[in-house]
Amino acid sequence: MPKVTYVDHTGHATTVEVDAGENVMRGALYNGVEGITGECGGGLSCATCHCYVDADWTAAVGGPSSQAEEELLESAASEVKPSSRLSCQMIVTEALDGLVVHLPEHQF
């Protein structure tokens, strides 16, 4: 099972196993990782699962998967960076085993 590491804004890292085919947001929610709210449940209608993909993983993950994701990122509560993604739109695969994402200080 792939592992994803979530690093909060203070630098505290939490690594959890996430089923392949699941999204990064649910991986956090199902494992009690704080810092991702996912208020819309992954319906691509909020930006409360905003994260920053670690520099070592940006090429593997790629940029926003749709125009809708790009537009929602514009409404994120924290600074939007080139590595910003909505974690509900990032599907975990075996190729992403070891993925590291950084969480912003605020989702609201």
Residue 108 belongs to a domain: no
Quick check: is 22 in a domain?
yes
Tally the domains of the chain: 1
pLDDT at residue number 99:
98
Match 């509900």 to its residue by tokens. Answer: 88
pLDDT, tens only, 52-101 = 999 999 999 999 999 999 999 999 999 999 999 999 999 999 999 999 99
Residue 107 located in a structural domain: no
Segment 8-14 shows an average pLDDT of 98
Q: Please report the pLDDT score of residue 70 as a whole number.
A: 96
| pLDDT at residue 90, rounded to an integer | 98
CA–CA distance, 25 with 53 (Å, rounded to integer):
13
CATH number at residue 7: 3.10.20.30
Residue 50 within any structural domain of the chain = yes
49: containing domain: 3-102
User: pLDDT by residue (tens digit) across 20-50?
Assistant: 999 999 999 999 999 999 999 999 999 999 9
